[in-house]
Structure 1
Amino acid sequence: MGSTGSLTDLSVELSEPVTVEQVNQAFADAAAGPLKGILRYTTDPIVSRDIVGDPASCIFEAQLTQVQGHLVKVFGWYDNEWGYTSRLVDLTELVAASL
């Protein structure tokens, strides 16, 4: 049995109202900046088989973002084995570099 793709559905209540565009831009900025390689941003519709073998811990699907005032719902895909293993490799390299 190989890797499988899974989807996380996250709902949060923010202190200030936001727009879909603001939420998506925040995720796009994070994916291009401090979370590059860990978070991947896409505007393409995807299904679980599309992300099998993807080393990112989360593939944020912007088309699915929902906002209603302070309430935000986002969706992130992940390969439940490959993404985790990729982060272990990152951690091992970080520790090895400090020795």
Structure 2
Amino acid sequence: MLKVGVNGFGHIGCLVTRAAFNSGKVDIVSINDSFIDLNYMVYMSQYDSTHGKLYGTVKAKNGNLVINGKSISIFQERDPTDIK
């Protein structure tokens, strides 16, 4: 399985994450967005005005985004090279 980090969780980053979970071929391991907080990421993951509600569970736990039981590390770095 391909491991991917998403840089930016706007409309496109959210759709990429959703598509990765639906495909089962891509493992999202981290998300970096310096503008969107974790609670809004949960909301954006659950609801999309164009693509509808995500089927499954989405929550924030211990500073991570958890989608269908899979924990995703969240970073808020302006420069992605600062992520270890």
Q: The TM-score by the shorter chain falls in which range?
A: 0.3 to 0.5
Give the structure with the higher percent helix. Answer: 1
TM-score relative to the length of structure 1: 0.29
Q: Which fold has the larger relative contact order, with Cα–Cα distance below 8 Å and residues 6 or more apart in sequence?
A: 1
TM-score scaled by length of structure 2: 0.33
